[in-house]
Amino acid sequence: MHTHAAALARPLVVAAAAALLLAACSGSDNASESTTSATTKAGPAMTLIPPTTAVNECGPGSGVTVEDGVLTIATDSPAYEPWFVGNDPSNGKGFEGAVARNVAEKLGYTPENTQFVAVPFEEALAPGEKPFDFDINQVTILGDRREAVDFSAEYYAVAQSIVAMAGTPAAAAENLDDLSAFRLGAQRGSTSLAAIVETIRPTTPAFEFATTDDAKAALEDGRIDALVVDIPTGFQISNSQIEGSVLVGQFPRPNDVTEFFGLVLEKGSPMTPCVSAAVSSLYQEGVLDRLADEWLAQTAGAKVLE
């Protein structure tokens, strides 16, 4: 992935936020003595907690997981490509499946003592006790969501995209203004829906659906003219899920990115700094970039709708 669009889709870690999270992971007043510094693509040097510290704090013998000795990871069901493969989050395939596997290993959990549970998108973000240690489900980090849950350091930067049926007026859109006259839909509570409301501002109120599957069905049967989803999902829909659909284009990304995905944890979870340390370590080692190249390379080159 050498195009500008591909570079923008790389995972990035925000140094200041990550440093605060990582510094909390050691659990001692001498945290600075056990840390190292590294310059990342995200900007200036950031403090990184060694993976061994994350294991010691939150590993199988730590007693901080929902189920003692087992790491419980949540995602929605079904689990779609390219994020997962074969609707099986536990196989370590697909971008998020591979990220989850690598984070688990950083924390000291093998596939044998890692389990996956199905949790709907909105339930994962609701306040209250969680049946998981962390959730991975293309969740964008937003300030108001932090009131109900914790987020890890970022593992992926993503843009939104438009999917329409080939040959329709919506499919011929050249810019975001062209889309304002159409019936647009997205999953309820998602940043895709926010992109419709706040960026496109359609003349017809946005259509909200409980799941992306419901929104896809509405596009297929003509109840909406176009669907807004993150760009990897948009490519998957147009390539293999809805026959006759096309990816119209992607939203512009001011300052190179518009959104960051993070792992979701229960508010105040003792796992949060450890999981962030694991994610940041994967970033420093280049693992997140390699996984993006392997599973999400097709997102390069999509037309930008200014």
Summarised one tens digit per residue, pLDDT across range 82-129 is 899 999 999 999 999 999 999 999 999 999 999 999 999 999 999 999
- CA trace torsion 259, 262, 267, 273 (10° rounding): -130
Q: Are residues 67 and 20 in the same domain?
A: yes
User: For residue 305, is it within any domain?
Assistant: no
User: For residue 181, is it within any domain?
Assistant: yes
Q: Which residue has the tokens 């304002």?
A: 180
pLDDT range class, residue 253, cuts 50, 70, 90: low
Query: For residue range 40-56, what is the model confidence (pLDDT) as tens digits?
Result: 333 333 344 555 556 56
> Averaged over 163-182, what is the pLDDT?
95
> Averaged over 72-80, what is the pLDDT?
94
Domain CATH code at residue 216: 3.40.190.10
- pLDDT for the residue numbered 158: 82
What is the DSSP annotation of 22-83? HHTTS-STTGGGG-EEEEETTEEEEEE--HHHHHHHHSTTSS-SSBTTBEEEEE-SS--TTT
Q: Which tokens is 305 given?
A: 């709708």
- pLDDT for the residue numbered 191: 87
Percent of the chain, pLDDT > 70? 78
d(CA 285, CA 30) in angstroms, rounded, equals 24
Percent of the chain, pLDDT > 90? 64
Q: Are residues 77 and 142 in the same domain?
A: yes
User: For residue 242, is it within any domain?
Assistant: yes
Question: What is the residue-averaged pLDDT of the chain?
Answer: 82
Q: Are residues 73 and 13 in the same domain?
A: yes
d(CA 192, CA 150) in angstroms, rounded, equals 21
Final residue before a domain boundary, out of 251, 268, 288: 251
Longest CA–CA separation in the chain, Å: 63
> Averaged over 190-203, what is the pLDDT?
92
pLDDT range class, residue 8, cuts 50, 70, 90: very low
Q: Are residues 206 and 167 in the same domain?
A: yes
Sequence-distant (6+) residues with CB within 8 A of 240 are: 81
Residue 257 has pLDDT above 80, yes or no: no
pLDDT range class, residue 258, cuts 50, 70, 90: low
Q: Which residue has the tokens 């409301």?
A: 197
- pLDDT for the residue numbered 44: 31
User: For residue 123, is it within any domain?
Assistant: yes
User: For residue 306, is it within any domain?
Assistant: no
d(CA 211, CA 192) in angstroms, rounded, equals 12
* Angle at 25 (CA atoms; ends 32, 15), nearest 5 degrees: 70
Sequence-distant (6+) residues with CB within 8 A of 211 are: 76, 120, 121, 187
Residue 214 has pLDDT above 80, yes or no: yes
Q: Are residues 122 and 109 in the same domain?
A: yes
> Averaged over 285-298, what is the pLDDT?
88
> Averaged over 198-226, what is the pLDDT?
95
Coil, strand or helix: which one is 207? Answer: strand
pLDDT range class, residue 159, cuts 50, 70, 90: confident
pLDDT range class, residue 251, cuts 50, 70, 90: confident
Angle between helices 287-296 and 272-284 (to 10 degrees): 80
Q: Are residues 135 and 190 in the same domain?
A: no
Q: Are residues 170 and 29 in the same domain?
A: no
* Angle at 268 (CA atoms; ends 263, 270), nearest 5 degrees: 80
Q: Are residues 87 and 167 in the same domain?
A: no
Q: Are residues 143 and 272 in the same domain?
A: yes
- pLDDT for the residue numbered 300: 59
Q: Are residues 210 and 280 in the same domain?
A: no
As for how many domains the chain has, the answer is 2
User: For residue 304, is it within any domain?
Assistant: no
d(CA 124, CA 293) in angstroms, rounded, equals 28
Which residue segment(s) compose the domain that 238 sits in? 160-251
> Averaged over 176-197, what is the pLDDT?
93
The CA radius of gyration of the chain, in Å to the nearest whole number, is 19
Q: Are residues 145 and 270 in the same domain?
A: yes
User: For residue 41, is it within any domain?
Assistant: yes
Residue 157 has pLDDT above 90, yes or no: no
